[in-house]
Amino acid sequence: MRIRLEPGEHVVVRTRPHPRRLLVPFCLALLILAGAGYGLGWFSRSQLPLGWEQWGPATVTVFLLLMLLFLFRVFLRPLLRWAGTRYILTSRRLIRRAGITRRSEREVRLTGIFQIIIEQALVERLTGGGTLFVDLGRDRILSFREVPQVHTFKEYMVAAISDLPLTAMFDGVDMEAEPVDGVEDEAWNRSGDERQQRHGWN
**pLDDT tens, position by position, 64-112:** 899 899 999 999 999 999 999 999 999 999 999 998 888 888 999 999 9
Give the pLDDT score at 202: 44
Q: Coil, helix or strand for 113?
A: coil
pTM of the model: 0.71
Give the pLDDT score at 157: 94
Backbone angles phi and psi of 177, in degrees to 5: -70, 150
CA distance 136 to 106: 14
Give the pLDDT score at 21: 87
H-type alpha helices, the chain: 23-43, 52-71, 77-83, 122-127, 150-162, 183-199
3-state SS track over 52-98: HHHHHHHHHHHHHHHHHHHHHHHHHHHHHHHHCCEEEEECCEEEEEE
Give the pLDDT score at 178: 45
Q: Residue 21 gets which letter from DSSP?
A: G
Backbone angles phi and psi of 51, in degrees to 5: 95, -10
Give the pLDDT score at 167: 60
Give the pLDDT score at 54: 64
* pLDDT < 70 stretches in the chain: 1, 43-56, 167-202
Give the pLDDT score at 96: 94
User: CB-based contacts of 10: which residues, under 8 Å, 6+ apart?
Assistant: 90, 91
Give the pLDDT score at 175: 40
